[in-house]
Chains A and B, each alone.
Chain A
């Protein structure tokens, strides 16, 4: 149980384009989903917290107009990187806290984004 999927696993795009990443909880409902970014050899940095049906809460320094988050249902959250630039190239990881067991977070496999 507690499986989280992400799609795509890897994406290469041109500078200026937008990229959408999906995060799904496959066998549980998640009231809250989290989006992290991880640069090489660095730890995870929380970008935003998203609650189903409400606006995401962004961490300081994260541009909400650049990183659009939609948590449309209890099993799906999407992150759209708008007008991507090479410095947005990173490993994006989502996690989900099960509604019935909010003691922890379960992580998706991550999406590696490369912006050329």
Chain B
């Protein structure tokens, strides 16, 4: 059974700090990895995708993938109160974004 695990949180960080969100997955054949942000009562919005081992940076966000450890993380630099949301990790067995398995999400709270 495919599983994606995340700490449910809440993860609280002060404004301006780095928030680190972690995700592990069980299926070693997984090929594509995504981070989504979901505000309460809203649908998820894509933050980043990553397919290869290593780091991928986009603005204040950095995704890190380690396939050997079956681990993917998201770092948010200079955290802002507007970053407060639930962050969902999604994993797909395919090299394109099909048949996601979502983690339970980590609730992030950025304190002003």
Contact = CB atoms under 8 A, between A and B. Distances in A.
A104 to B, nearest CB: 4
A102 B34 CA distance: 13
A9 B52 CA distance: 37
Given A43-B88, A43-B105, A44-B88, A105 B45 contact: no
A35 B88 CA distance: 17
B61 to A, nearest CB: 15
Contacts of B98: 32, 49, 97, 102
Contacts of B49: 103-104
Interface string B80-112: 000000001000000011111111110000000
Interface of B: 32, 34, 36, 42-46, 49, 88, 96-105
8 contacts: A46-B102, A93-B43, A105-B46, A105-B97, A105-B100, A107-B43, A110-B42, A110-B43
The 7 closest A-B pairs by CB, nearest first: A104-B97, A102-B96, A107-B43, A110-B43, A43-B104, A44-B102, A43-B102
